[in-house]
A and B are shown apart, each in its own frame.
Chain A
Amino acid sequence: MNSPPYPFADSVASPSAELKSGHGRIVVSSHASKAVFSELAATYPLKLLSPRVGADGVAVAYVLSYGGGLIGGDEVVLDVKVKDDARLVLLSQGSTKVFKMRLGTRLASSAWVDSSLASPQPIPEGSADAPTLTTQVMDYRVHEGCGLYLLPEPVTCFRDASYKQIQRFHLEDRTSSLVLVDSITSGRQALGEDWDFAKYYSMNEVWIGGKLITKDVMLLEGDREAAKSPDDSSRHRVPKRLLRDQLAPYSCYAMVLLYGPQAQETIEDIANQYKEYIVYQRRMPTDSLWSFSLLGENTADGAVVRIAGKETEVVRSCLKATLRRLERVIGVDTFRRAFA
């Protein structure tokens, strides 16, 4: 069975341990109500920045990529640890853009360290996923009483891009708190991109006290190969279904997961907002849509919110309204930075 080793034993990698290409590490703790980064390191194409703001005990860091985007073949790995009563807010600057591979451009992955960049060989299209797939693997540990607030801008996959994102959140116990936002847009609308990427895979696992509580997996495939039947003569006649038709009329989808004592007020507030809605027969879909589910019997077990909107801005303001009680938890300034 694939349960991870209990991750809260006290083995800290020395800060000077070498980071591989595209790797990053964040360790934050709080002493006398001041949040302190004991580690904040990253290598190209990953970049980590921390502005000098934050309410008591709240640390803020921006997770960025050089050039404002990632391309096929990029592998980013990020390890984050929040301990000693700290609260960490992770933001991004603008949406994370994912491009398809272009030959001759950077190959920022340790798997490619030996390839000769002087004379790039054309990579056959049909070859293994490695050249065209962009991967981000993030591992977060939230110690008891701590809080992690992941509030990035959406991921935008451009035409033909392929993207895979794995996030694992290990909460030490039920005194740890987590609010996680994961969102995606349909592409560069100005260029007429409308869910034109090749593949988007996002997995979020939340473990509490060593037990898997939530596993949210979303897979969007733009170019699904029609399944062939064993003898090709009776091939299934199924007309092609485009991703943009499946997801219409919305161009942005977001998901929020909330757990722990610091998130309780927010969860209760959302539940109260949600239960006021009554839906009557509509002729057309609304400009935005959202849903709310408790993950267990009551708010203490966590909650999930899903939002869809015709525009990214609509989803952002919906997120801001939904998460308004977080202002008290992460501070007004930081809240505004997150939902500017």
Chain B
Amino acid sequence: MDSDEETYLLLLLADSNLPTGSFVASSGLESYIKHGFSSSPEPTTLTFLRDSLTSYARTSLAFVADAHRLVSRLASSAENASDKGKESADIQQVLEELVTLDNQYEALTLNHVARRASKAQGVALLTLYSKGFTTPSNLSAYSDPKKRDNEKFMLQLLDKFKLQVRREEVTGHLPVCWGALTAALGLTLERAQYLHLFLHARSVISASVRLNELGPYNAQQTLLHAVRPLVAEEVERCKHLRTGLLDEPGANFDEMTQGPANTWPLGEILATRHDLQHSRIFNS
């Protein structure tokens, strides 16, 4: 993918109008504020965001990376293969591994509020690929036939995964679906990880504006000056993490330095308590 195409894709994926269901999630910010955790001199939102982002990056990027790798590998093998039988066996294999990753994320996410938010946004992304990114027949004149073949292949995979979600055979968590979606679209892993954290941060800022915690101009300043280095730092720190589930047996995987982890127990408690709020405008 050339850099113009990649930039264009990033613009689309970063659009706040993208139907991903993140609009109703405050990532625990609303509960944090409600429970009296405001701070000075650094604004409450920024303090919350730092701790939330660090923990989220440490938990989710390993899954984004592994899911992305799985689907990318499949996409590139499809470009060379012509054997339909092998293709469907490959899809089946990748599906099973995606389910393994997803089950691991489920086991790692004890907080039921975070689980339901992740689940809702995950399936939204799978739907987004089929309904929002594949080429419809009436636009086929605009697209490259070879690309459409690849699309069909990716669509098969993501539709099958979505079917398993609908059948409740797997949850379909956000980081796994994000990794799969971005790989299907041809975005590089590094961009996918960066964008994932950016969108998490942006969603928190947006929630903060709606909670009247941050004004709209202040929000933009925060995004430009503070969020940028924060996201860059967390990507740098966590981009090499993985789950270890896709490793060959006997591979040297050290969970403590290379695996996912929660780094903010206070955030966990407050996010879980979201539903106890007497009045609330967010779902999580």
Known: A1-B100, A213-B107, A293-B110. A238 touches B229 (CB 8 A): yes
* CB pair A217 B104 closer than 8 Å: no
How many B residues are at the interface, by size bracket? 35 or more
* CB pair A282 B36 closer than 8 Å: yes
Name the contact of B58 in the complex, choosing from A219, A277, A281, A282 (C-beta under 8 A). Answer: A219
Name the contact of A217 in the complex, choosing from B112, B113, B262 (C-beta under 8 A). Answer: B262
Bound: A283/B261 CA distance, A: 31
* CB pair B35 A228 closer than 8 Å: no
Stretch at the interface among B150-158, B177-185, B232-240: B232-240
Bound: A217/B62 CA distance, A: 14
In the complex, chain B residues whose CB is within 8 Å of the CB of A282:
34-36
Kindly state whether residue A47 has any CB partner on chain B within 8 Å.
no
Q: Mark A209-235, 1 if CB is under 8 A from B, else 0.
A: 000111111111100101111000000
* CB pair B108 A280 closer than 8 Å: no
Stretch at the interface among B80-88, B194-202, B214-222, B263-271: B263-271
Closest partner residue, chain B, to A199 (CB atom): B256
Closest partner residue, chain A, to B36 (CB atom): A282
Report B180 CB to chain A, min CB distance, Å: 19
In the complex, chain A residues whose CB is within 8 Å of the CB of B245:
1-2
In the complex, chain B residues whose CB is within 8 Å of the CB of A237:
229
* CB pair A279 B236 closer than 8 Å: no
* CB pair B270 A289 closer than 8 Å: yes
* CB pair A279 B35 closer than 8 Å: yes
Bound: A221/B262 CA distance, A: 11
* CB pair A217 B110 closer than 8 Å: no
In the complex, chain A residues whose CB is within 8 Å of the CB of B270:
289, 291
* CB pair B233 A236 closer than 8 Å: yes
* CB pair A293 B112 closer than 8 Å: yes
* CB pair A281 B34 closer than 8 Å: yes
Known: A219-B263, A241-B51, A246-B51. A306 touches B244 (CB 8 A): no
* CB pair B260 A289 closer than 8 Å: no
Bound: A283/B266 CA distance, A: 17
Closest partner residue, chain B, to A226 (CB atom): B233
Bound: A307/B268 CA distance, A: 10
Q: Mark A139-173, 1 if CB is under 8 A from B, else 0.
A: 00000000000000000000000001010000000
Report B52 CB to chain A, min CB distance, Å: 10
Kindly state whether residue B277 has any CB partner on chain A within 8 Å.
yes
In the complex, chain A residues whose CB is within 8 Å of the CB of B260:
217
Number of A-B contacts (CB under 8 A): 128
Which of A201, A217, A253, A280 has the most CB atoms of chain B within a 10 A radius of its CB? A217
Which of A215, A282, A307 has the most CB atoms of chain B within a 10 A radius of its CB? A215
Report A189 CB to chain B, min CB distance, Å: 18
- Residues of B107-161 at the interface with A, using a CB-CB cut-off of 8 Å, are 107-108, 110-113
Kindly state whether residue B255 has any CB partner on chain A within 8 Å.
yes
Name the contact of A279 in the complex, choosing from B108, B237, B256, B277 (C-beta under 8 A). Answer: B277
Report B33 CB to chain A, min CB distance, Å: 8
Kindly state whether residue A292 has any CB partner on chain B within 8 Å.
yes
Kindly state whether residue B172 has any CB partner on chain A within 8 Å.
no
* CB pair B229 A214 closer than 8 Å: no
Bound: A307/B35 CA distance, A: 15
Report B44 CB to chain A, min CB distance, Å: 12
Report B30 CB to chain A, min CB distance, Å: 11
- Residues of B37-79 at the interface with A, using a CB-CB cut-off of 8 Å, are 37, 50-51, 54, 58
In the complex, chain A residues whose CB is within 8 Å of the CB of B104:
212, 215
Closest partner residue, chain B, to A246 (CB atom): B51
Bound: A290/B113 CA distance, A: 14
Kindly state whether residue A286 has any CB partner on chain B within 8 Å.
yes
* CB pair B269 A291 closer than 8 Å: yes
* CB pair A236 B50 closer than 8 Å: no
* CB pair B269 A290 closer than 8 Å: yes
Bound: A289/B31 CA distance, A: 12
Kindly state whether residue B224 has any CB partner on chain A within 8 Å.
no
Kindly state whether residue B203 has any CB partner on chain A within 8 Å.
no
Bound: A221/B270 CA distance, A: 20
Kindly state whether residue B11 has any CB partner on chain A within 8 Å.
no
Report A156 CB to chain B, min CB distance, Å: 16
**Chain A interface (Cβ within 8 Å of chain B)?**
1-2, 164, 166, 201, 203, 212-221, 224, 226-229, 236-238, 241, 246-247, 250, 253, 255, 274, 277-286, 289-295, 304, 306-308
A-B pairs, 3 with minimum CB distance:
A282-B36, A291-B272, A219-B261
List 5 additional A-B contacts (Cβ < 8 Å) besides A216-B108, A294-B112.
A215-B104, A217-B261, A227-B234, A236-B233, A307-B269
Q: Supply 30 A–B pairs (Cβ within 8 Å), ascending by A.
A: A2-B245, A2-B249, A212-B103, A214-B110, A217-B260, A218-B261, A218-B263, A220-B263, A224-B237, A227-B236, A229-B232, A236-B232, A236-B233, A236-B236, A238-B230, A241-B51, A274-B276, A278-B276, A279-B31, A279-B34, A279-B277, A282-B34, A285-B36, A285-B37, A286-B35, A290-B269, A291-B111, A293-B113, A306-B272, A308-B265
